[in-house]
Amino acid sequence: MRTRIKICGLTREEDVDAAVALGADAVGFVMWPASRRAITPDRLEVLAARVPPFVTRVGLFVDQTPDLIARCAGALDLLQFHGEEPPEACDLYGISWIKALRMREDIDLARETERFAAARGLLLDAYRPGVPGGTGECFDWSRIPAELAGSVILAGGLTPDNVAQAVARVKPLAVDVSGGVESAPGIKDHRRMAAFIECASRAAMATGTLDGLAPSGIDD
């Protein structure tokens, strides 16, 4: 499967337009007020309205209220939970959700995978105490069990310089980047976004993530 690409932490119209034009499969919006990339629900409506069909609009939440999440859900295609949202509560909003897990040294991935079995996917991210996401740090990708790798969204410290290696080594379902394509928190650098998407796409093709397909995509 082709590795999908999510550009996260968007706050400006021009950056949303650039991410879509460059071929991002998903765009992420941080709804947690303490983040330097946070936007308001009103701003989310404005930015999400610029995203065409077939590009997934992802809202990021950290232990936030059901009312706020329900307020945002109308502008989103996917919820990304970073807090301790109980699995059963996530079904309240009527749209799909993914669970972000921070790779603490003592994480029990088998247990967490079972606990969040109802999620559409797991996003594996770096761990820094007190920081729910957007750390700009990598974690040891070899810690991802082989049987899980193809179904996870890989996040944490990805950049145009390391994303090809990440795709080749992990072959994840998707890669997720925020800080690695910025000139400042929440301000995306369009050249870095273009380089990231190019490098990730080339690596996905090179690693045969389209196994079994002839170059034309049709068996000869």
Ligand X SMILES: O=C(O)c1ccccc1NCC(=O)[C@H](O)[C@H](O)COP(=O)(O)O
User: Which residues form the interface with ligand X (CB under 6 A)?
Assistant: 8-9, 28, 30, 32, 35, 37, 60, 62, 82, 125, 132-136, 155-158, 176-180
CA count, 13 A, side-chain hemisphere, 115: 14
Q: Compute the CA torsion angle 203, 206, 210, 212 (nearest 10 deg).
A: -160
Residue holding tokens 């996401």?
Answer: 133
Phi and psi of 66, rounded to 5°? Answer: -55, -35
| Closest distance to ligand X from the beta carbon of 28 (Å) | 6
Alpha helices in 65-181 (DSSP H): 66-73, 87-90, 109-115, 146-149, 163-170
Place of tokens 């936007």: 39
For tokens 């890669």, the residue is: 175
* Known catalytic membership, residue 77: no
Q: Least distance to ligand X from the beta carbon of 93, Å?
A: 18
Per-residue tokens: 71: 């307020």
The distance of closest approach from Cβ of residue 115 to ligand X in the complex, given in angstroms and rounded to an integer, is 19
* Active-site choice (15, 77, 125, 176): 125
H or E element: which one contains 81?
A: strand 78-81
Side-chain half-sphere CA neighbours of 201 within 13 A: 11
Number of CB atoms found within 10 A of residue 30's CB? 29
- Based on the residue annotation, tell me whether 125 is a catalytic residue of this protein: yes
CA distance 117 to 30: 24
Specify the DSSP class assigned to residue 93: G
Question: Closest approach of Cβ 218 to ligand X, in Å?
Answer: 36
C-beta of 28 vs 160, nearer to ligand X? 28
What is the closest distance, in whole angstroms, from the C-beta atom of residue 211 to ligand X in the complex? 28
Residues annotated as catalytic (active site), given as ranges: 8, 125
